[in-house]
């Protein structure tokens, strides 16, 4: 497998009136293409900060980060935005679907915004996440788990290289979370998408090929648990 990205000694310090907060304190790892990483850690351990650095939503204050062997831009919002647009997909915890558009139209809109409207592919993506019967419904007419699966289809419609999610099953029950994660895994495998998902739910570990545990801004353990990743 080829290397997708590498962080070396990454730091994200915040200066606060009470002193320096080391949200990320020397994080080093690389992620290979095709890995499905679950990032686990207690509240305040630095998970969201790490995702925000991975997606160039935030700038590290030290260390290096390269993506496909190129330094990821920092402290330059224009370059950071285009890095995100080219490479990153994001699944939100609260779905953020447009309520006035049908399920299918939500996908078509994203395709249109990224300049490749393709209704056939939009329908295939919805089928992939098990929603072929719901394409003409509105978000308010389907369940939370189904809405999250629409959001997944939407997030992969633009073919991101790296898909990220922060507590994306955080407000779903266990059974629904499992359905969402299954949809996510098959979508990522089919579309060759590498992923990093943040959670504090140990039950999601079974969907990963690798588990990274973080506490106080440092990596505590980093374990490959399945070798059957798709490459
Ligand atoms: N804008 C900020 N200013 C100061 N401290 C922050 C800021 N954002 C996050 N932190 C601190 O950084 C640490 C990591 O936060 P975060 O990445 O949100 O943790 P997690 O997502 O694991 O709950 C926490 O101690 C948090 O209080
Ligand atoms: Mg968080």
pLDDT digits (tens, 9 = 90+) for 160-196: 999 999 988 887 788 888 888 988 898 899 889 999 9
SS3 of 124, please? helix
Point out the least confidently predicted range of 26-30, 102-106, 130-134: 130-134
The Cβ of residue 95 has, within 10 Å, a number of other Cβ atoms equal to: 19
Residue 127 belongs to some domain of the structure: yes
Phi, psi angle pair for 64, to nearest 5°? -125, 155
What is the pLDDT, as a whole number, of residue 180? 85
C-alpha span between 194 and 102 (Å, rounded) = 28
Q: Quick check: is 217 in a domain?
A: yes
| Residue whose CB lies within 8 A of the most ligand 1 atoms, among 16, 17, 22, 44, for a mutation test | 44
Measured by CA distance, the residue closest to atom 6 of ligand 1 is 14
Cα torsion angle, 113, 114, 119, 121, sign? negative
Question: Domain of 39: which CATH number?
Answer: 3.40.50.300
Residue 99 lies in a domain: yes
Cβ of 18 below 6 Å from ligand 1:
no
108 lies in some domain: yes
Domain count, the chain: 1
Biggest CA–CA distance in the chain, Å, is 55
Would you say residue 116 lies in a domain? Answer: yes
Q: Evaluate whether residue 154 is within a structural domain.
A: yes
CA distance 35 to 43: 24
What's phi and psi for 95, nearest 5 deg? Answer: 65, -45
Q: Quick check: is 66 in a domain?
A: no
The pick from 20, 23, 218, 220 for probing ligand 1's pocket by mutation, whose C-beta has the most ligand atoms within 8 angstroms, reads 23
* pTM of the full structure: 0.91
Q: Domain span at residue 131?
A: 34-59+88-224
Q: How far, in Å, from the CA of 22 to the mean position of ligand 1? A: 9
In a domain, 21, yes or no: no
Burial bucket for residue 12 (CB in 10 Å: 0-12, 13-18, 19+): buried
Residue 154 — very low, low, confident or very high, per pLDDT cuts 50/70/90?
Answer: very high
pLDDT in tens, 4-14: 999 999 999 99
Q: How confident is the model at residue 31 (pLDDT cuts 50, 70, 90)?
A: very high
């Amino acid at each position: 497998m080829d290397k997708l990205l590498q962080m070396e000694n990454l730091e994200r310090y915040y200066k606060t009136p009470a002193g320096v907060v080391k949200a990320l304190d020397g994080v080093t790892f690389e992620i290979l293409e095709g890995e499905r990483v679950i990032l686990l850690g207690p509240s305040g351990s630095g998970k969201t900060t790490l995702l925000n650095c991975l997606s160039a939503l935030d700038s590290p204050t030290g260390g290096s980060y390269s993506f496909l062997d190129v330094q990821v831009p920092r402290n330059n919002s224009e370059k950071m935005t285009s890095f995100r647009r080219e490479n990153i997909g994001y699944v939100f915890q609260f779905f953020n679907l447009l309520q006035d558009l049908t399920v299918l139209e939500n996908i078509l809109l994203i395709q249109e915004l990224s300049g490749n409207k393709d209704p056939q592919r939009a329908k295939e993506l919805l089928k992939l996440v098990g929603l072929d019967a719901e394409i003409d419904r509105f978000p308010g007419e389907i369940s939370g788990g189904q809405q999250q699966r629409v959001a997944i289809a939407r997030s992969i419609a633009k073919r991101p290289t790296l898909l990220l999610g922060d507590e994306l099953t955080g407000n779903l029950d266990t059974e629904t979370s499992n359905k969402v994660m299954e949809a996510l895994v098959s979508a990522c495998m089919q579309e060759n998408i590498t992923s990093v998902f943040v959670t504090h739910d140990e039950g999601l570990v079974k969907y990963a090929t690798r588990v990274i545990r973080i506490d106080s801004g440092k990596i505590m353990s980093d374990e490959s648990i399945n070798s059957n990743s798709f490459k």
